[in-house]
Amino acid sequence: MSHESPEEAEAIVRDAARRALGSRSRWRMLAAVLWAGFLGAPPILLLWIGGHSLAQDTSLGQVSAMFFLAWGCATVPALIAAVIVDADLVPSRRHSRDEP
Amino acid sequence: MYSAAPRIQVRAAHGRHARLRLLAMVVLLALFYGLPWIQVGGRPLVWFDLPGRQFHLFGLLLVPQDLIYLTWLLVIAALTLFFFTTLAGRLWCGYACPQTVWTEAFMWIEQAFEGDRHQRLALDRAPWTPAKLLRRGGKHLAWLALGLYTGLSFVAYFVPARELFPALIAGTLGGWALFWVLFYGFATWGNAGFMREQVCKYMCPYARFQSAMFDRDTLIVAYDAQRGEPRKSEARRLGSPRGACVDCSLCVQVCPVGIDIRKGLQYECIACAACVDACDAVMDSVQQARGLIRYGSLAQQTGQGLRLLRPRSVGYGLLWLLLCAGFVVALAQRTPLQLEVMRDRHALYRQLGDGRIENLYSLHLGSQDRRPLRLRLQVTAADGRALEVDPAVIELAPGDSRSLAVSVRSRDLPPGLQSARFQLVAEDDPRLHIERQASYHAGAPRPVGDPAP
């Protein structure tokens, strides 16, 4: 077992924190919103399946389209949450910040 | 020596938690890849037939009208997650989450092609040579193959595997099925091969709200700072007796999310306990007691005991038990038949040439039984008299759901509106029955002196 210098731990942690989304706040927010929507879409789809829209014959294509619609719907609350959390996404606040 | 890498090069950990993680990975992957192939009675054991609007779950046939059961199952699954998170932290994240399981599998492939952590770091720094190209290319090909097979297996939950795979080989796979195979396959490749800890740290909402389920008695992976500090290097600098931590950095090297657990509880920690295994191995080698990094609660760190039974865990547990018991009872009492009776809105009743009174109904029938059913429809008036029904026998295929026009006729019933009982009974299994009440109009009262027909 090789033991290495303590600086290695700090370097790993520092680089891990900076890697990919770690240093890109906009992309991080977008990825989080899309992923939260993706996880939220199946329950929405399940509820729709119980509804009238699937009471008739349905093709895999229609179900797929419904999934993407559900994904889109599910991103809305995630997007609202993201905007509330990240003040930088609100244009008026960003503008006021830019002012001296 | 470490240098910035395009991804965290995780050192493989060995120990009881690593074995547990490997076991969880093997079992869960075997379930995921194997379930679509298991058939019972000619049907897949698990099959979400979305176009057919049927869900086959371990011998249970659910239709859209049974959505309550699926929702119930989702609620039970969520509560199970809450319960275990309250008790033992992010067990789900560390051992059972698909992101963790497939990342483990992808890392295993990576190690097979590119070697251990040091060899991978060296390969990262090395110029592009045919050997590097071969190793990297082989790894990506293996990742892609596993990703695409994962995509195929995922789609096999919606299109039976025994139709899907032959269709793929024959090149007759439908456009949407192919789209989902590729979508899921590339998503697996991207998430487990490249994104890895990024999904857990920045994208997954569960990592955010789990803190609401934690309390001081929740088991977390924690570093015993009292025992470990000051570390070897710090003690040397201070000239004081050193703690148990030898500052080998192995706990950080094995961490799949790239954190230093010695800095305390961090939201990035997925509780995989790889650092526990690494630290235990080091403690063994320096002949010190294990457990410098271990599963423990915040309360334990302040000298209190481990409290598993507390209001929050008991509350979640009781609610979980109630929901599970309710689900089992509801399933046991569920009649795999559906019957809705609607009167024809165009006419209250009709008097036939022979004097009989006819009422028309629209019946909506459904079967969630796995057998084809031959059902007898019986209608009785309020006074118990059987009425004529046409059709009297109805056949339903498994999972079939359809509407049917039914005529009910009576003779010599007291005129006026009264109730009628519609009963649907399986001919070969009288226990399988369902009944509904509806109104029946037996005609207008005859004027005084009008002779009976």
**Of residues A3, A19, A43, nearest to B74 (C-beta):** A43
How far B409 CA sits from the closest chain A CA (Å)?
Answer: 31
Q: Tell me if chain A has a CB within 8 Å of the CB of B202.
A: yes
pTM for the whole structure: 0.82
Q: Which residues does chain A have within 8 Å of residue B179's beta carbon, measured at their own beta carbons?
A: 64
Per the CB < 8 Å rule, is B258 touching A15?
yes
Q: Tell me if chain A has a CB within 8 Å of the CB of B195.
A: yes
Over residues B307-348, the pLDDT tens digits come to: 888 898 999 999 999 999 999 999 888 888 889 999 988 888
How far A94 CA sits from the closest chain B CA (Å)?
Answer: 23
How far B198 CA sits from the closest chain A CA (Å)?
Answer: 7
Q: Residue range B424-443: average pLDDT?
A: 90
Axis crossing angle, helix B161-170 with helix B130-155, rounded to the nearest 10: 130
Per the CB < 8 Å rule, is B250 touching A57?
no
What pLDDT score does A4 carry?
54
How far B197 CA sits from the closest chain A CA (Å)?
Answer: 9
Q: Which residue has the higher pLDDT, B210 or B417?
A: B417
Q: Which residue has the higher pLDDT, B213 or B144?
A: B144
What pLDDT score does B163 carry?
92
Q: Beta-carbon neighbour count of residue B31 at 10 Å? A: 10
Q: Tell me if chain A has a CB within 8 Å of the CB of B34.
A: no
Q: Tell me if chain A has a CB within 8 Å of the CB of B240.
A: no
Looking at the DSSP assignment, which residues form a beta bridge with residue B393? B376
Axis crossing angle, helix B175-188 with helix A60-85, rounded to the nearest 10: 40
Give yes or no for residue B199 having a pLDDT over 50.
yes
What lies within 8 Å, CB to CB, of A36 at 6+ separation is A74, A75, A78, B203, B205
Q: Which residues does chain B have within 8 Å of residue A39's beta carbon, measured at their own beta carbons?
A: 204-205
What pLDDT score does A99 carry?
43
Give yes or no for residue B6 having a pLDDT over 70.
no
Instruction: Report the alpha-carbon distance of residue A43 to residue B172 in Å, rounded.
Output: 31
Looking at the DSSP assignment, which residues form a beta bridge with residue B379? B387, B422
Over residues B58-96, the pLDDT tens digits come to: 888 887 778 788 889 889 999 999 999 998 889 999 999
Q: Which of B47-61, B120-134, B213-227, B312-326 has the lowest mean pLDDT?
A: B47-61
Q: Tell me if chain A has a CB within 8 Å of the CB of B403.
A: no
- Amino acid A99 reads E
**Of residues A13, A31, A35, nearest to B260 (C-beta):** A13
- The answer, yes or no, to whether the previous bond of B230 is cis (omega within 30 of 0) is yes
Over residues B43-55, the pLDDT tens digits come to: 899 998 887 778 8
Instruction: Report the alpha-carbon distance of residue B307 to residue A95 in Å, rounded.
Output: 51
What percentage of chain B has pLDDT greater than the value 90?
58
What pLDDT score does B390 carry?
92
What pLDDT score does B446 carry?
63
Residues 128-187 on B with a CB inside 8 Å of A are: 158-159, 174-177, 179-180
The H or E element spanning position B72 is helix B67-88
Q: Tell me if chain B has a CB within 8 Å of the CB of A56.
A: no
Give yes or no for residue B132 having a pLDDT over 60.
yes
CA angle centred on B417, ends B415 and B422, rounded to 5°: 110
ipTM exceeds 0.95, yes or no: no
Residues 78-97 on A with a CB inside 8 Å of B are: 78
CB pairs under 8 A between A and B: 129
What lies within 8 Å, CB to CB, of B148 at 6+ separation is B181, B182, B185
Instruction: Report the alpha-carbon distance of residue A62 to residue B432 in Å, rounded.
Output: 35
Give yes or no for residue A53 having a pLDDT over 60.
no
Kindly tell me the sign of the dihedral angle through the C-alpha atoms of A32, A35, A39, A40: positive
Q: Tell me if chain B has a CB within 8 Å of the CB of A53.
A: no
Most confidently modeled of A13-22, A57-66, B192-201, B441-450? Answer: B192-201
Per the CB < 8 Å rule, is B7 touching A43?
no
Q: Which residue has the higher pLDDT, B55 or B157?
A: B157
Chain A residue with minimal CA distance to B196? A20
What pLDDT score does B151 carry?
96
What pLDDT score does A98 carry?
44
What pLDDT score does B449 carry?
54
Average pLDDT across chain B, whole number: 89
What are the phi and psi torsion angles at B444 (to 5°)? -80, 150
What confidence tier does B2 reach under pLDDT thresholds 50, 70, 90?
very low
CA dihedral B97, B101, B107, B113 (to 10 degrees): -150
Closest Cα to residue B69, out of A34, A49, A94? A49
What pLDDT score does A57 carry?
63
Per the CB < 8 Å rule, is A8 touching B253?
yes
What confidence tier does A94 reach under pLDDT thresholds 50, 70, 90?
very low
Instruction: Report the alpha-carbon distance of residue B154 to residue B281 in Å, rounded.
Output: 38
Q: Tell me if chain A has a CB within 8 Å of the CB of B267.
A: no
* Tokens (6 digits) for B229: 């500090």
Q: Residue range A76-98: average pLDDT?
A: 63
Q: Residue range B94-113: average pLDDT?
A: 95
What percentage of chain B has pLDDT greater than the value 70?
97
Q: Which residues does chain B have within 8 Å of residue A70's beta carbon, measured at their own beta carbons?
A: none
What pLDDT score does B20 carry?
95
What pLDDT score does B214 carry?
87
What pLDDT score does B287 carry?
93
**Of residues B205, B255, B285, nearest to A39 (C-beta):** B205
What pLDDT score does B261 carry?
94
What pLDDT score does A2 carry?
44
